[in-house]
Amino acid sequence: MDRYEQVIELAKRRGFLWNSFELYGGAAGFYDYGPLGSTLKRRIEQIWRELYVIHEGFMEIETPTIGIEDVFVASGHVGGFSDPLCECKECGEAFRADHLVDKIVEIADALSNEELDRLIKENNIGCPECGGELGEAYEFNLMFKTSIGPGTGRQGYMRPETAQGMFVNFQRLSRYYREKLPFGATQIGKSYRNEISPRQGVIRLREFTQAEAEIFTHPEEKTHPNIGRFEDVTLNLYSDEAQQKGVIEQMTVREAIDRKIIAHEFLAYHIALTNNFLQRVGIAADKLRFRQHQKDEMAHYAIDCWDAEILTDRFGWIEVVGIADRTDYDLMAHAKTSGTELVVHVEYDEPKMIEQFVVKPNMAKMGPLFKGKAKTVADALKELSSDELDKEEIKVTVDGEDFTVPSDIISYTQETVKVSGEKIVPHVIEPSYGIDRILYCTMEHAFEEEMVAAEGEEEERIVLRFQNEVAPVQVAILPLLTREELMDPAKQIAEKLRNRGLLVAYDDSRAIGRRYRRNDEIGTPYSITIDYDTLEDNSVTIRDRDTMEQVRAPVDGIEDVIYDLVYGKRDFETAGVKL
RNA sequence: GCGCUGAUGGUCUAGUGGCAUGACUGGGGCCUUCCAAGCCCUAAACCCGGGUUCAAAUCCCGGUCGGCGCACCA
């Protein structure tokens, strides 16, 4: 069994991850989170919220998981989130049709299926595998289709990312933040992609959880006020250049900015924030790197893009977070499709005085003359130069109709106008997290088998060394023996800890050693044991999962001691008297 | 989607035409004063559908799911 199998086996057995619909034979690409898995996931998400929502102030919103067609036409997912496939009629092998012709034309990915078919025929391209004849190209779109309403209804799609929900609410968000850049919104929720072939367990799912932030920034102001927080942090960077050499470079955030390895400070801040988050949920620092997208893999509209990658035992480096500067691409696309300007008005520090040629049609006279067309005629007049306006009869053409305007109802001046600001289409910085992958990685990095002394011999112990903050059970309450006089006070202590808001597991089945091992396996950081001394002096033992050491502490205030231990406000050594 | 390969209690596993093997785990009990101890009891499985056969977990076909390779991965 490799590490992946060990982790998945434990995850299944202990209630972290289950294959969905197992009762009916299952379905590829779907996983259920069991009791411990759901809790672990929620705790990871909660840390994410603390960082992005509470600390950064990017408020969380919630938008439908089903989207209407317009949204995905604008985003490019209807046209672009699909690949032209082409199957061999002989051996059945499927190929990317555009890849088959990319040696022949330069922009193969822009071709229609008909054009691809024509090129394949004209150039006598056969199956690369067996040389057989190729069938016609067809689109395989990775979005799940659905219909909204009864009958044929209206075409809808399950969202392939949560991001669009934030872009389409841009105006509302801008108003909420009182039109001050930068501002951001976040969303944690399910997204859907109809993967051709989901594999690798929870690594590639058809329904998965994303945590995304869309941060709207001024296109020319990409510094970050809090960069000082991270400047001295060392990152494992695998830049475009480093990838040519095949070496991961370690450098501080400051150095990466100064050497222009990361495009700008704002992006660097968010890479560092991601680094901070991943280590906090328990990703090993030496198995974490940031890989820069190479020019040819980066979306054409992005300035710079870095993936956080985590080293796993079976799959190698896997992408868990993408952090991109998507420029104004998304807002421009939605503005174009919707016909609504998506901008913020940015005021200048000082209003600018601008020399301007101003045409002033006398609307009181224009109105009676041109009736309903007066406004459009007036607009057309405003585009004219002073030379044209000096003519006795001014001619303009509006909607194919010619209008003659007497010059005496038009005046113009050269004016100095005060311009207080300008309309800006913000750039979007997008950190996009794959929560399911991160959850798997925290389990794999927490997983450890070690040999421990037992009965004069050595035996194997499996322990999940979760960070206390993510552990789905924070403290186990264990009566030493299965006896009423120990079980009753144990249950009372459990209740006390629950009232303090801790995740408590009470367990009195079978031998104490076995119960310790059970809790080691699910990563419970602390165990409280109630023994006969408890009845004497009202004290209990607290056991530390990682060292298996114990201290003795009074029952009074035990809930605060455990709380402080779990939230890192106290060291284990200070929790009681060492045994 | 294609090819190869596999699927037996919760987990791991033996069996390969004729009563389904064992271990661990789980539950109940006895015992037990701190790291999967012992004893007793107990629960629990042949992926689904079709075919061949007196008889199929076993052989054949199809499907589902897993793994690996190819392809795919905005």
The single-letter code of the amino acid at A562 is I
Q: What is the pLDDT of residues A47-90, one digit of tens each?
A: 999 999 999 999 999 999 999 999 998 998 887 666 666 766 65
Q: Which CATH fold topology does A3-71+146-330+428-435 show?
A: BirA Bifunctional Protein; domain 2 (3.30.930)
DSSP class of A227: G
Residue with tokens 């329904």: A207
Q: What order do you get walking across the sheet with A66-68 strand by strand? A: A66-68, A154-158, A145-148
Which CATH class, in words, describes the domain spanning A473-578?
A: alpha beta
Q: Is the pLDDT of residue A297 over 90?
A: no
Residue with tokens 């705790």: A43
Q: Is the pLDDT of residue A118 over 80?
A: no
Domain with CATH 3.30.930.10 in chain A: 3-71+146-330+428-435
- Closest to A437 measured CA to CA, from A272, A326, A286, A308: A308
The single-letter code of the amino acid at A418 is K
Query: What stretches of A219-372 show up as alpha helix (H) in DSSP?
Result: 240-245, 253-258, 265-280, 329-338, 363-370
Q: What is the pLDDT of residues A424-450, one digit of tens each?
A: 999 999 999 999 999 999 999 999 999
Does strand B come within 7 Å of the CB of A130?
no
Q: Is the pLDDT of residue A111 over 70?
A: no
What number is the average pLDDT over the span A101-113? Answer: 62
Helix axes A35-49 and A265-280, enclosed angle (nearest 10): 150
- The sign of the torsion formed by the CA atoms of A108, A110, A116, A122 equals negative
Name the CA dihedral angle for A271, A276, A281, A284, rounded to a multiple of 10 degrees. Answer: 90
Contacts for A558 with CB less than 8 Å, ≥ 6 apart: A493, A496, A497, A528, A540, A542
Please list the residues that pair with A291 across neighbouring strands.
A238, A307
**pLDDT reported for residue A518:** 95
Containing A121, the helix (H) or strand (E) segment is helix A113-122
pLDDT band of A522, cuts 50, 70, 90: very high
**pLDDT reported for residue A83:** 65
Domain with CATH 3.30.40.230 in chain A: 82-141
Q: What is the pLDDT of residues A357-414, one digit of tens each?
A: 777 676 776 677 666 666 766 667 666 777 776 777 777 777 667 777 777 777 777 7
Contacts for A539 with CB less than 8 Å, ≥ 6 apart: A533, A552, A553, A554, A555, A576
CATH number of the A82-141 domain = 3.30.40.230
C-alpha pair distances (Å), A393 with each of A119, A260, A399, A408? 58, 59, 19, 9
Within residues 254-283 of protein chain A, the ones with CB less than 7 A from nucleic strand B are none
Does strand B come within 7 Å of the CB of A472?
no
Domain with CATH 3.30.720.200 in chain A: 349-423
B35 C1' to A525 CA distance, Å: 15
Q: What is the ipTM of this complex?
A: 0.87
**pLDDT reported for residue A82:** 66
Q: Phi/psi of residue A122, each to 5°?
A: -60, -35
**Tokens linked to A558:** 């035990």
What number is the average pLDDT over the span A464-482? Answer: 96
Does strand B come within 7 Å of the CB of A487?
no
Domain with CATH 3.40.50.800 in chain A: 473-578
Architecture of domain A349-423: 2-Layer Sandwich (3.30)
Within residues 347-376 of protein chain A, the ones with CB less than 7 A from nucleic strand B are none
Q: What is the pLDDT of residues A270-279, one digit of tens each?
A: 999 999 999 9
Question: Rounded CA gap, A568 and A562, in Å?
Answer: 10
Does strand B come within 7 Å of the CB of A128?
no
Within residues 65-104 of protein chain A, the ones with CB less than 7 A from nucleic strand B are 76, 80-81, 83, 87, 91-96, 99
CB-CB contact of A231 with A269 (8 Å): no
- Residue A89, CB-side half-sphere exposure with 13 Å CA sphere: 8
Q: Which residue places its CA closest to the C1' of nucleotide B74?
A: A81
Which residues of A are documented as binding site? 96, 161, 193-195, 203-212, 319-320, 430-437
Strands (E), A473-538: 475-479, 504-506, 526-530
